[in-house]
Amino acid sequence: MKFLHALQLQAQVLIDMVQRAAALMGEPAQSYAEAGAALARRRVFSPEDLRLYRAVVGFRNVLVHGYTSVDILRISQILAGREYRKLANLALKILEATGDP
């Protein structure tokens, strides 16, 4: 599926932003999960945002490391429902909280 790479890049960029934001806020993280939890503690992420972020991390890991097969039906749903736009909202929350692009 031609959009998998774009979704993978989007996921990685968000993960990188979360890790940088956590460090800028004085909570450098040793893992992607710790970085997301730091942003939740700082109230940058709501509990729902944190769940989405964790799902993004899992999705990225499946694509990059091949932990399990990719659910093409789920990818189709993400694309059809434009769910990928939710990641842009998380990125905006990070930008507003840190002022760091």
Q: Residue 3 above 80 pLDDT?
A: yes
Give the whole-number percent of the chain exceeding pLDDT 70: 97
Question: The dihedral of CA 83, 87, 10, 55: what is its sign?
Answer: negative
pLDDT, average across residues 51-64: 93
What average pLDDT does the structure give for the chain? 93
pLDDT, average across residues 58-82: 87
Dihedral in degrees, nearest 10, Cα atoms 19, 25, 30, 36: -60
pLDDT, average across residues 28-41: 97
Which residue, chain included where needed, has tokens 């990070």? 94
> Residue 101 — very low, low, confident or very high, per pLDDT cuts 50/70/90?
low
